[in-house]
Amino acid sequence: MTRPSGAVAGEGVVQLAVENVGKSFGGVRAVEDVSCVAEKGKVLSIIGPNGAGKTSLLNMISGFYKPDHGRITLDGRDITSYAPNRVAALGIARTFQNIALFRGMTVLDNLMLGRHVRMRYGVLSAFLYWGRAQREEVEHRERVEDIIEFLKLQDLRKQPTGALAYGLQKRVELGRALALDPQVLLLDEPMGGMNQEEKEDMARYILDVSEERGTTIILIEHDMGVVMDISDRVVVLDRGRRIAEGTPDEVQRDPEVIKAYLGAQKAA
């Protein structure tokens, strides 16, 4: 699951840029003047101790939070003030720490719901098989079947997601995000709670999404082995501030990063 040795980071086209963004909740500064860039088709990981501001940063990129200051751009377009649905329509998809699937619905139906942003005629009309909506529904079904095959979920398409093992539910959630045909995919701890085999499978899928589909990945993950294996660039946050950025090798040797993580271990 490791990146090929020939992969070069830091020389690509910037697709998403975060410029000096900040966010406070009451008197608590969750994110303080953080900047970073995600290059097209690359994996950018955001790491840091608990409470470092990682999820708050993802929430600002996806439109769930509005920054108090700074700006966020996608392909040069300022999306700082965009609502989540508008951000999604532009091609930024998101998974969450806690699984957010419809547990009573099948794998296929959950993935079809992930296509709703791309449906010109809406979910209701598409499922009623009227005219052009019928043809559109067939096209979206074909796209979803491609994702089911990619994630090796063929035998589970008719299964209720709530009946699946935890690791498979995480895979379905990844599939629902991919159903949006994202340019940028935000993954918030996609391997949390998984065993080692499930983590290795998920890491391979993330790399395939990046390398084969050219999707830009922004990843939050606590498993440092995984982060160092699959990332092109790593940003390190601590108490809302960016304390380091670079290749995995550079970040691992950074004194501030070592201090932040050793401090977190002592506190634990």
In this predicted model, what pLDDT tens digit does every residue of 82-97 receive, in sequence order?
999 999 989 999 987 6
Give the per-residue pLDDT at 259. 82
Is a pLDDT exceeding 90 seen at residue 113?
A: no
pLDDT mean over 115-143 = 61
CA distance 122 to 132: 11
In the chain, count H helices and then E strands. 10, 10
Structure tokens given for 155: 């035998």
Q: What is the mean pLDDT of the chain?
A: 86
Residue count (the chain): 268
Domains of the chain: 1-91+182-268 (3.40.50.300), 101-181 (no CATH)
Residue 216 belongs to what H/E stretch? Answer: strand 216-220
Does position 120 have pLDDT exceeding 70, yes or no?
Answer: no
In this prediction, residue 2 carries a pLDDT of 45
Task: Give the three-class secondary structure for 25.
Answer: strand
The contacts of residue 46 (CB under 8 Å, 6+ apart) are 36, 54, 57, 58, 218, 219, 220, 234, 235, 236, 237
pLDDT exceeds 60 at position 5: no
pLDDT of residue 139: 76
| Residue 198, pLDDT score | 92
pLDDT at 234 over 50: yes
> What confidence score (pLDDT) does residue 265 get?
47
Please list, residue by residue across 25-62, b when 16 or more beta carbons sit within 10 angstroms of its beta carbon and e when fewer do: eeeebbbbebebbbbebbbbbbbbbeebbbbbbbbbbb
